[in-house]
Amino acid sequence: MKKTFFLLLISFTAGASGTQLPTGTVNGVQDTRHSVLALTHATVHVSPEKTLKNVTVVIEDGRIREYLENSSVPDHAVVINYRDMHIYPGFIHLDAEVGLPEPAKRPPFSWGGPETLQTTVDGAYNTNEAIKASYRAADDFNPSQKASRELREAGFTSALTHRHDGIMRGTGALVSLADEPAQLTVLAAQASQHWSFDKGASKQDYPVSLMGAVALIRQTLLDANWYTQQNQMTDLDLAALNNNTTLPHFFSVDNWQQTLLTQKISDEFGLTFVVKTAGDSYQSLNPVVNTGQTLIVPLNYPKAPEVNSILDSYHVEYSDLKKWQVAPFNTRLLAEKGVRFALVPGDNKKGLTTFLSDLRKAVTHGLSEQTALAALTTVPATILKRRDIGHLEKGARADFIAFDQPIFNDKAQLKDSWVYGERMEINPRLPLSEGNYTLTLDDTSHQISVHFNKGQLTLKPNQDTDHTFQAKMDGQLFTLIVDEQSPLMAWVADGQIKPLPTDRDWMMTFIQQSEKVTQSDSEKTVKDIPNIPNPFTAYGLANSATPDKVLFKHATVWTNEDGGVLENTDVLVVDGRIKTIAQDIADNKADLVIDAKGKYLTSGIIDEHSHIALLSVNDVAVNSSMVRMQDVVNPEDVNIYRNLAGGVTAAQLLHGSANPIGGQSALVKMRWGVSPQEMLIDGADGFIKFALGENVKRSRNQQSVRYPLTRMGVEQVYRDAFNEAQKYQTAWDDYNNLSRSKKKKTSPPRRDLAMEATAEVINQERFISCHSYVQSEISMLIHVADDFDFKVNTFTHILEGYKVADQMKAHGVGASTFADWWAYKWEVNEAIPYNAAIMDQVGLVTAINSDSAEMSRRLNQEAAKTIKYGGLTEPEAWKTVTLNPAKLLHLDDRMGSIKEGKDADLVLWSDKPLSIYAQAVKTMVDGVIYFDRDKLGALEKTIAAEKTALIKQSQASGEEKKPQADVAQPTLHCDSLITKDAILALDNGAES
Amino acid sequence: MKTPLFTLLTLLIFQADAIRPKPAEPQVAPETFINATIHTGEGDVLKNAMLVIESGQITYLGDYQQTQTKGQVTDLKQQHIYPGFILTNTNLGLTEVDAVNASIDFKETGELNPNVRTAIAYNADSMRIPPMRFNGILLAQVVPVGGLVSGTSSVMQLDAWNWNDALIQNNDGLHVNWPAQRTKKFDYATFSMKLEKDKNYTDKVTKIKTLFKDAQAGHSPDNIKLNAVSAVFNGDKQVYIHANTPKAIIESIEFMQSIGIQKPVLVTDSAALPVIDFIISAEVPVIVSSVHDLPQRTDSPVEQPYAVAVKLQQAGVLTAVTYPGSMSARNLGFTAGTTVAQGLDKNTALKMITFNPAKILKIDDRYGSLAVDKSATFFISSGDALDMSGQQLKAAYIDGRKIDLNGKQQKLYHRYHDKYQLTE
């Protein structure tokens, strides 16, 4: 290995560049040169704001020495005529992987095989192998001529390179893209720290989910802090993390939701991230802008889907077409909002080859030329805190690129790339400048213009004349035929035409450059920004603007309160709250009066068990209490709108059922078109998912090795977790009770996010919603909770709750169940549709939930089944999807009934709400009407019309199409597992 | 713990514990029902009407006439009579617990299985059957799935000692799963479902076409696969095309009609909507496979699947609705109710789970509606059978036999109702 490197080094030093390392061994005689170069007549764009015209650039030993006016040339300089050339600072690529070995591939996660619970990496590294903070790109860096050349061809002269593998990816190196040995190209060995939410090649199961990645990052940051105060162990990754805190932190994300997540982490830990986005910020512009982060934006332009016939539009997503339409405006939108960003090529394979044209596309879509240049030069240099690159002021590295026209001209071509004063030809320059020449032949002058058309030289007289001119270039040999006389020959060097000896007297001299060389393309028509739905999906076009004061008149009001059903009653909503419930409220009290005669007004449906609006559902740690569903809330999910259409106004978004202790719930309201954070219910109590039975004991996987594999083991997982949480708490209590002086001498216990959440459960600061089926396990958890002196809040699913309803009542736990699901797995054999009614009649707070994006929009009908099965009264049945889930979620002081002062989460129904024939006519959350059936038909027509127009437009564009369209994202339920690699179901049963 | 043997044992023990209701005895004496609201299933409602059944058949239907009453007379004031619901395209009787492989019998291995028959695998004692009957489903077309040609279905009545006496239409249909040019695949790069070209698409279509053409040619009379297909050419067996893309619908129907099968039955979903005019002109009937479903795309109309059957029905297509799988298929009646909210009248909605499926299954001479000389297969409900709120079945009859509506779920309900001393 070492030998190869040595040989390689020799070949470098002996290569064409003749580079010698100061410390190297010379095989021959010393050949050290002090170089001075002068590029004359150049146009130099020193920085985005500053341009020098017709100057001589003097380069000395790889740096810009000075600029000279009036075509002057310094002494001892090698002169190159750079007439026609536009020089720009070389671009800096902030997200490269150049010169690094490709990271290993990992087989996709599958529930089918044995789990990998521990790290598979040997050595004193972090116990999670996705944490590779000690990796140093500089250690592995070896310049790749091919990769460097490809980058140079796109205009880059230096790059920040890091290994795109893992959640904490270690440090990046700033390298120059010269074809020189690594000793000369590494400009900074430790230039940056790199992070992502993607565990990359890690074979360890945890984390499989986005929220798991967040939890791992948070825990690792806490561990790094703890590490400085402990002396029990060595962890090279934590040590590296601590050593590299002053380096700029780069965070690569896959979507805009993750862009927002990085901000959450930086807020919590006081870090600043430069975020490499997916180029999709336009999908959620304001929240992304509000993070205030500096971004690295790839020029990603999604292709429009292929449509071969009108029938194909059945398979085409509106949002795909819309992405094709809006994505090119992304950088402009960010710039207009004042976001500071750097640009990098698109993330697809061809991103680098199409980079310059992609850049021009951004400009034709309204990104200013200055901002575009800054995003490739000054901005990345500032991020890296480098003063020697990104501009061409005196003293800067002579890293620049030269174009034959202004860079943003459509036909501009990159000719030369210069790295540290070394010229590398990208495309050959024209042998002659294009433009006007004077031809003097036998005392006659002709004004002629010279052009190249696809490499072919053409001459054209500039005024009417009978003379004809033909010319040809053969290498540097120029042949001119005037009026079909015998040819004249000349030798072209440095743009000068020197006639070869002949009996005729002639010369041809350059007068003036062609306009296309000096001018930017005449005023490009900048495209208008199209309408952008919010959220970025078809139904984001819905208009939910609602006045502050809304009055429902003459409704039949199902209050869920003592008053019961109020006929012909008015409800006044002011500022998102129910202000007045009375008969005959005057119309003038409101800005919007809704005639609700013959209709039914209820509080909104609350789904205790939902997995919509999530980017991920399950992680795999047996105790996953450290993961938070609030980290993966996805406000773009159209199922939110569909839920609104079914009268749902709030839901508990639960972690899945892969683990005895699952993650922390997100309690949301169905606010449509807001950020993930704004969906969360302010001030709601903390909840957590627990799960029992077949899913957690991995019943469908014959090869599972993960403890527990039986219900016996499940109990012990709880006893162990609570036991440990108590110890954890005692340790912290002891520490916190120390006197100030003693505290200084004592290391604090290690903070453990899972133990903190588990302790919260014991302390009744976080409340359990426990996936459960059979009576034995239900009873078990009650006993465990009793032993640790806390209450289980809710059993969810709880299909055998009817068998232990008395025990549940004694414990004080509520129930949230399905109306009539059964037969999908072994443990639901004795599920009966009377379950809810029995539990309710025994006196449990009983709710009906969905666990299904489809059924959640029919929960009113599911509630009605409790009348058929078990004979609940209408008010009792209705409460199972409104007031009772509100109680289970501790939200009944604000939601769940129609009462003055409560949140205006209201649904107006066309028919008796428990009837199969009832439809939600209007659904209001916090006083905002997000769903309005009266406008639905028009909205659906608008969507269809815009889609048709977009298909036409994309067909007409002649751009390359992607093979086929998307189909709707699969919906998630309890058993779904989303990983970077796949969506898997834990069980193919009918919890789907 | 997880050996198949153990699973099998537990299954057997479990089954021994939970005995199915005993099949009812044949009708011996005539019965008369008066003052009922009778929904014929053919689109009519008779108020204060009378129904007389004798030897398993309807002998009188109409206004009350004392002279026509026979046998025991039951006053059904404020109650309703409906024809038994027909659950088409179901795996009822072929599966018990979807997560337990040993209990599943609906999918044979291989691509071309025209010869496999659901009838002989149908478990008349399936624990899934009583809950169906409890909600008025009295007949079912039991259908295999998987492969390109998944096999041959039969129509069963849901009160039987065994599959032999459950049969009311043996080998009624051959089920073809028409492939789509593109199949769904998860795309890691964009993290969404994609349609990907199915490289084997042409092969698959050719396999189906060759099977039918070889069967039609009749050159191999000893080939059991071809023989299972050839019945479709003399009308003994119908062809059911399961197709879920607009193009596959056109392609499959064009092919079937080109080989002389004029009226294949199309089993589909919202894929029918873009080709509704084609379906009308092809004059094929449609079974809508699922009502309570999510829209096909994010930009699809919010309640699109609820309305598919409505649009077909309103366009004049002979349309039935059914329910996927069998776990929740007891809600069939409510899916018909759902179409009412989308613009159908209740009688037409009812038709889509009674008379229309009977016509499609070609059993409408005996079942699917209430008419004189037809089978006395119906149920009595305290309320609107399409709406779950406040409706109970009071009795049900199959071929005049009064069946036991209660099953294990009701027994467990009463057991715990009593345990907690709950009041009615």
- Using DSSP bridges, classify how beta strands A565-574 and A496-499 pair: parallel, antiparallel or unpaired: unpaired
Q: Tell me the three-class secondary structure of A885-943, residue by residue.
A: HHHHCCCCCCCCCCCCCCECCEEEECCCCCCCCCCEEEEEECCEEEEEHHHHHHHHHHH
Q: Using the structure block, give the residue that is written with the tokens 């009906």.
A: A848
Q: Which long-range contacts (CB under 8 A, 24 or more apart) does A570-577 make?
A: A571/A601, A571/A898, A571/A906, A573/A549, A573/A904, A573/A906, A573/A924, A573/A927, A574/A548, A574/A549, A574/A927, A575/A548, A575/A549, A575/A927, A576/A903, A576/A904, A576/A926, A576/A927, A576/A928, A577/A901, A577/A902, A577/A903, A577/A904, A577/A927
Which chain B residues are within 8 Å of A316, Cβ to Cβ?
A: 297
- Regarding whether A817 and A842 lie in a shared domain, the answer is yes
Residue B8's closest chain A neighbor by CA?
A: A826
> What does the angle CA B283 – CA B289 – CA B293 come to, to the nearest 5 degrees?
130
Q: Which CATH class is domain B85-367?
A: alpha beta
Beta sheet of A605-610, edge-to-edge order: A605-610, A648-653, A666-669
Query: Is B295 part of the contact surface with chain A (CB cutoff 8 Å)?
Result: yes
Q: Which long-range contacts (CB under 8 A, 24 or more apart) does A519-526 make?
A: A519/A406, A520/A369, A520/A406, A520/A408, A520/A409, A521/A406, A521/A408, A521/A409, A521/A410, A524/A363, A524/A364, A525/A364, A526/A364, A526/A365, A526/A366
Mean pLDDT value across residues A923-944: 97
Helix (H, G, I), strand (E, B) or coil at A481: strand
Check CB contact under 8 Å for B182 and A315. yes
B5 in A contact zone (CB under 8 Å): no
Mean pLDDT, residues A915-931 taken together? 98
Query: Judging by DSSP bridges, how do beta strands A50-60 and A36-47 pair with one another?
Result: antiparallel
3-state secondary structure of A595: strand
B102 and A CB contact within 8 Å: no
Q: Token pair for residue A63?
A: 């740096």
pLDDT in tens, A350-382: 999 999 999 999 999 999 999 999 999 999 999
- A974 falls in which pLDDT band (50, 70, 90)? low
Q: Which residue has the tokens 């039955």?
A: B265
Which tens digit of pLDDT belongs to each residue from B170-221? 999 999 999 998 887 765 554 556 778 889 999 999 999 999 999 999 999 9
User: Looking at beta carbons, which residues of chain B come within 8 Å of A823?
Assistant: 96-98, 127-128, 326-327
Size of interface A-B (CB pairs under 8 A): 205
Given this model, what pLDDT does residue A817 score?
98
CA angle A181, A44, A413 (to 5 degrees): 70
User: Are A319 and B246 in contact (CB < 8 Å)?
Assistant: no
The residues near A415 (Cβ < 8 Å, ≥ 6 apart) are A85, A402, A403, A404, A425, A426, A427, A428, A429
Structure confidence by residue, pLDDT tens digits, B276-323: 999 999 999 999 999 999 999 999 999 999 999 999 999 999 999 999
Cα–Cα separations (whole angstroms), residue B230 to A108, B218, B239: 45, 8, 11
- pLDDT band for position A248 (50/70/90)? very high
Chain B CB contacts of A970 below 8 Å: 186, 193
Between residues A19 and A40, which one has the greater pLDDT? A40
pLDDT tens, B221-246?
999 999 999 999 998 999 999 999 99
Q: Could you tell me which of A443, A261, A296, A500 has the C-alpha nearest to residue A382?
A: A296
Q: What is the band of A111 on the pLDDT scale with cuts at 50, 70, 90? A: low
Q: What is the mean pLDDT of chain A?
A: 92
Nearest CA in chain A to B392: A868
CB count in 10 Å sphere of residue A592: 13
Contact A900, A579 (CB under 8 A): yes
Q: Residue A837: inside a domain, yes or no?
A: yes
Q: Do B271 and A830 touch (CB under 8 A)?
A: no
What's the CA dihedral at B180, B186, B189, B195 to 10 degrees? 10
CATH number of B20-84+368-424: 2.30.40.10
Q: Are residues A276 and A354 in the same domain?
A: yes
Whether the predicted pLDDT of A87 surpasses 50: yes
Q: Tokens 């149920």 sit at which residue?
A: B379
Inspect the interface and report whether the beta carbons of B1 and A853 lie closer than 8 Å.
no
User: Which residues are CB-neighbours of A559 under 8 A, at least 6 positions away?
Assistant: A565, A566, A581, A897, A898, A899
**Using the beta-carbon criterion (under 8 Å), do B195 and A315 form an inter-chain contact?**
yes
- In whole angstroms, give the CA distance from residue A689 to residue A54: 70
Q: Which residue of A has its CA nearest to B300?
A: A940
Cα of B61 to nearest chain A Cα, Å: 29
Residue A983 pLDDT grade (very low, low, confident, very high; cuts 50, 70, 90): very low
Q: How far is CA A905 from the centre of its chain?
A: 32
Q: Kindly report, residue by residue over B101-123, the tens digit of the pLDDT.
A: 899 999 999 999 999 999 999 99
In this prediction, residue A513 has a pLDDT band, given cuts at 50, 70 and 90, of confident
Domain closes at, from A404, A425, A446: A425
Poorest-confidence range of A453-467, A511-525, A580-594, A781-795?
Answer: A511-525
Position B193 scores a pLDDT of 65
CB contact under 8 A, B193 and A842: no
Can you give the residue range of the structural domain that contains A719?
605-895+972-992
Residues A341, A291, single domain; the answer is: yes
Looking at residue A970, what is its pLDDT?
52
Rounded to 10 deg, the angle between the A835-842 and B408-419 helix axes is 0
Residue B343 pLDDT more than 70? yes
Q: Give the residue-averaged pLDDT of A914-925.
A: 98
**What tokens appear for A331 in the block?**
């950088």
Mean pLDDT of B398-409: 96
Tell me if A964 and B195 make a contact (CB, 8 A cut-off): yes
Complex ipTM tops 0.90: yes
Which comes out higher in pLDDT, residue A815 or A977? A815
Cβ atoms of A632 and A619 within 8 Å: the answer is: no
Q: Would you call B40 an interface residue with chain A, using a CB distance cutoff of 8 Å?
A: no
DSSP conformation class of B15: H
Tell me the domain boundaries of chain B: 20-84+368-424, 85-367
pLDDT in tens, B244-273: 999 999 999 999 999 999 999 999 999 999
User: Both A414 and A440 in a single domain?
Assistant: no
Confidence of residue A437 (pLDDT cuts 50, 70, 90): very high
Q: Rounded to whole angstroms, how far apart are CA atoms A211 and A219?
A: 12
Average pLDDT over residues B382-406: 95
DSSP secondary structure code for residue B133 in this structure: H
Interacting residues of A781 by C-beta distance below 8 A, sequence separation 6+: A690, A692, A718, A770, A772, A792, A795
pLDDT category of residue A960 using cuts at 50, 70 and 90: confident
Contact A823 B416 (CB under 8 A): no
Would the CA dihedral through A641, A647, A653, A659 be positive or negative? negative
Q: Does B213 touch chain A (CB under 8 A)?
A: no
Read off the pLDDT of residues A683-732 as tens digits, 9 standing for 90 and up: 999 999 999 999 999 877 888 899 999 999 999 999 999 999 999 999 99
On the question of pLDDT at B2 being above 60, the answer is no
Pair of tokens at residue A992: 């789907």
- DSSP single-letter state for residue B145: B
Rounded CA gap, A568 and B167, in Å? 55
Give mean pLDDT, residues A227-233.
Answer: 93
State both tokens at A484.
């079909």
Rounded distance between C-alpha atoms, residue A375 and residue A370, angstroms: 8
Q: What CATH number is given to the structural domain containing A695? A: 3.20.20.140
Q: Indicate which of B298, B394, B420 best probes the interface with A, i.e. most A CBs within 10 Å of its own CB.
A: B298
To 10 degrees, the CA torsion angle through A612, A616, A621, A625?
-50
Residue B97, SS3 per DSSP: coil
Q: Are residues A420 and A444 in the same domain?
A: no
Q: What is the pLDDT of residue A463?
A: 86
Q: Give SS3 for A555.
A: strand
Q: Which of A376, A391, A425 marks a domain boundary?
A: A425
Interface of B with A in 123-182 (CB under 8 A): 127-128, 131, 182
- Out of B195, B338, B416, the one facing A838 most closely (by C-beta) is B416
* Dist CA A177 CA A156 (whole Å): 8
- % chain A with pLDDT above 90: 81
Check: CB of residue A96 under 8 Å from CB of residue A159.
Answer: yes
Helical residues (DSSP H) of A110-201, grouped into ranges: 137-140, 145-153, 182-185
* Strand-strand pairing, A766-772 and A686-691: parallel
Q: What is the mean pLDDT of residues A634-644?
A: 97
Chain B residue with the nearest C-alpha to that of A860: B389
pTM of this structure: 0.93
A182 burial via Cβ count (<10 Å: 0-12, 13-18, 19+): middle
Of B255, B250, B223, nearest to B239 by C-alpha is B255
Provide φ and ψ at A415, rounded to 5°.
-100, -55
What would the DSSP string read from start to end of A267-314?
HHHT--EEEE--S-GGGGHHHHHHT--EEEEE---PPPBP-SSGGGGG
**Measured CA distances, B92 to A718, B4, B121, B161, B405 (Å):** 39, 22, 10, 16, 17
Collect all residues of chain B within an 8 Å Cβ-Cβ radius of residue A964.
182, 194-197
The two three-digit tokens of residue A957, written as one number: 């564009």
Cβ-count burial of A443 within 10 angstroms (0-12 exposed, 13-18 middle, 19+ buried)?
A: exposed
d(CA B74, CA A796): 44
> What is the rounded distance in angstroms from the CA atom of residue A144 to the CA atom of residue B18?
72
> Which chain A residues are closer than 8 Å to B308 by Cβ?
none
For CA atoms B37, B41, B44, B49, give the dihedral sign. Answer: negative
At residue A984, the pLDDT reads 44
B368-381 pLDDT, tens digit per residue, is: 999 999 999 999 99
The Cα–Cα gap between A42 and A868 comes to 87
Q: Do B2 and A826 touch (CB under 8 A)?
A: no
Spatial distance between the Cα atoms of A721 and A623, rounded to a whole number of angstroms? 8
- Do residues A726 and A733 touch, judged by C-beta distance below 8 A? no
Same domain, A333 and A238: yes
Work out the angle at residue A983's Cα, subtended by the Cα atoms of residues A980 and A986, and round it to the nearest 5 degrees.
125
A220 and A299 assigned to the same domain: yes
Dist. CA A864–CA A870, nearest whole Å = 11
Same domain membership, residue A728 and residue A798 = yes
Domain endpoint, select from A395, A425, A455: A425
With beta carbons under 8 A apart, name residues in chain B contacting A947: 299
3-state secondary structure A647-671: CEEEEEECCCCCCCEEEECEEEECC
pLDDT for res A962? 77
Q: How far apart are CA A681 and CA A665, in angstroms?
A: 11
Q: What is the pLDDT of residue A16?
A: 38
A567 inside domain: no
Of A314, A710, A987, the CB nearest to B246: A314
Chain A residues closer than 8 Å to B303 by CB:
645
Interchain CB distance below 8 Å, B388 and A864: yes
Distance from CA of A935 to the nearest CA of B (A): 13
Q: In this structure, are A471 and A344 located in the same domain?
A: no
Instruction: Tell me A960's DSSP state.
Output: -
Q: What is the mean pLDDT of residues A620-624?
A: 95
Instruction: Give the span between the Cα atoms of A742 and B48, in whole angstroms.
Output: 91
Same domain, A408 and A466: no
Q: Say how far apart CA A494 and CA A827 lie, in whole Å.
A: 86
Beta bridge partners of A88: A401
Structural domain total, chain A: 3
Residues A255 and A397 reside in one and the same domain: yes
